[in-house]
Amino acid sequence: MNYKIALIKGDGIGPEVVNEAVGVLEAVGEKFGHTFEYVDVLLGGCATDAVGKSYPDDTAEKCRTCDAVLLGAVGGPKWGSDKPAEQRPETALLAIRRDLGLYANLRPAVLRPAMADACPLKKETAEKGIDLMMVRELTGGVYFGKRDRYQTPDRGVECTDLMAYSEQEIERIGRRAFEMARLRGKKLASVDKANVLETSRLWREVMHRLAGEYPDVAYSDVLVDNCAMQLVRDPSQFDVVVTENMFGDILSDEASMITGSIGLLPSASIGDTAPGLYEPIHGSAPDIAGQDKANPIATILSVAMMMRYSFQRPGEAAAIERAVDAVLAEGWRTADIAGPGVTPIGTRRMGELIRGRI
Ligand code: ATP
Ligand code: MG
């Protein structure tokens, strides 16, 4: 097959990690008989520098001509909150997700076998392993609700943030999660706060209706506070976890932290028709940019997710994941994951080793 991929290299370490991921794609292409065509797309602080705004007008259009989008990282102190919104990199990230209709955010939290020592949880908990997938609703809920700020006569200023969800919004993310559970361990936990919130009661109603359509998936309801606790107590109980936008924001960061190696974690944002967007969960790391120090593994594993979820190529995805695990098992580490007494290798060397293992 020939695949066309939009590359948003972005700022800071973005270009360095994307270059290594592209190298891995090329190795996959050679081994499995695919060809890849790349379209460079300007977005983020680098776009502000080049054309005066972080989200150039043709960005979404260019991405739509491609089969998937790979993003490195955007942002940096140079384009901070003192700049107008149209020059800020974060504005561009929200805009592209909106314009491509990317309503589902997939964040796997995996404790890679060779990295078990990095897990901050109890040793016996870490030994059970962590391999879960957070499915977060990304375009609804309180982050997108109407906001207000007004003066009251007797209580000072008061603010409101409206949290709204429709059946349609819940159903589409629910279906994604059930389908994901079918591809994995056939277990789904839906996280809500149905003992308090009306949006959560609707969430639960819709999820229960869907559960009837997926009898092969073991379904459970978990309250958000309990989920936060269970993630630390025994994350091995989770396979796929689905939740609304704000709960997912918080829980997916918690799930990442319990693996102990944020530089290893990929993510995907997908919709119904537009190309999916794949990116590492880390930021642009301006402190180490341009020094060949960045860990490219999160971006390389994002390419594995692209193979699996945009191109339905699980064999290719597994080959990438196996290559990463093999290189880690041999003891190779970039600086961010090198323990005491380990001499770290650079970004390019790590990429080269993983390519060689494909
Ligand atoms: P953002 O707002 O873009 O998320 P941030 O400052 O919150 O940025 P990062 O850019 O992820 O977060 O950086 C946090 C720390 O982690 C920095 O010290 C950075 O050097 C380090 N870091 C982030 N990603 C990597 C990576 N891929 N390899 C090595 N170190 C990294
Ligand atoms: Mg950050």
> If you measure from the C-alpha of residue 13 to the centroid of ligand 2, how many angstroms do you get, rounded to a whole number?
14
Any bridge partners for residue 148, and if so which?
160
Residue 307 banded pLDDT, cuts 50, 70, 90: very high
Q: Which ligand is nearest to the CA of 253?
A: 2
Shared-domain flag, residues 290 and 302: yes
Residues 147 and 108 in one domain: no
User: pLDDT tens across 278-306, in order?
Assistant: 999 999 999 999 999 999 999 999 999 99
Binding site feature residues for Mg(2+)? 225, 249, 253
Q: How far is CA 217 from CA 109, 179, 205, 211, 327, in A?
A: 20, 9, 17, 7, 34
Domain termination residue (choose one: 237, 258, 279): 258
Give the three-state DSSP class for 241: strand
Is residue 59 within 8 A of residue 41, CB to CB? The reply is yes
Residue after which a domain boundary falls, among 258, 278, 302:
258
Which residues, other chains included, contact 306 with Cβ-Cβ below 8 Å and sequence gap of 6+? 5, 68, 70, 268, 276, 278
253 and 133 fall within a common domain: yes
Return mean pLDDT, the chain.
96
**Three-class SS state of 104:** strand
Check: CB of residue 191 under 8 Å from CB of residue 255.
no
205 and 317 inside one domain = no
Question: Into how many domains does the chain fold?
Answer: 2
Do 25 and 141 belong together in one domain? Answer: no
- Determine the distance from the C-alpha atom of residue 70 to the mean position of all C-alpha atoms in its chain, rounded to a whole number: 11
Residue 299 Cβ inside 6 Å of ligand 1? The answer reads no
For 18-48, the pLDDT digits (tens) are 999 999 999 999 999 999 999 999 999 999 9
C-beta 136 within 6 A of ligand 1: no
Same domain, 16 and 78: yes
- At 28, which CATH number? 3.40.718.10
What range does the domain containing 205 cover?
Answer: 120-258
Together in a domain, 236 and 266: no
Residue located nearest, by CA, to atom 19 of ligand 1 = 285
Pick the last residue of a domain from 258, 288, 307: 258
Find the 14 Cα to ligand 2 centroid distance in Å.
14
Q: Is the beta carbon of 275 within 6 A of some atom in ligand 1?
A: no
Q: Are 214 and 277 found together in one domain?
A: no
Please give the model's pTM, rounded to 2 decimal places.
Answer: 0.93
> What residues contact 122, with CB distance under 8 A and at least 6 apart?
none
Same domain, 146 and 107: no
Q: Which residues are catalytic?
A: 143, 193, 225, 249, 253
What is the ipTM for the molecules in this complex?
0.94
Instruction: Give the ligand at the shortest distance from the Cα of 89.
Output: 1
CB atoms within 10 A of CB 337: 21
Q: Does residue 260's CB lie within 6 angstroms of at least one atom of ligand 1?
A: no
**Tens digits of per-residue pLDDT, 73-115?**
999 999 988 999 999 999 999 899 989 999 999 999 999 988 9
Task: Please give the average per-residue pLDDT across 266-283, as a whole number.
Answer: 95
pLDDT digits (tens, 9 = 90+) for 56-71: 999 999 999 999 999 9
Query: Which is it for the CA torsion 326, 331, 335, 338, positive or negative?
Result: positive
Residues 274, 240: one domain? no
Whether 274 has a pLDDT exceeding 90, the answer reads no
Q: Candidates 79, 253, 279, 282: which one to mutate for ligand 1, based on the most atoms within 8 Å of Cβ? A: 282
Confidence grade of residue 339 (pLDDT, cut at 50, 70, 90): confident
Q: Are residues 252 and 266 both part of a single domain?
A: no
Same domain, 52 and 125: no
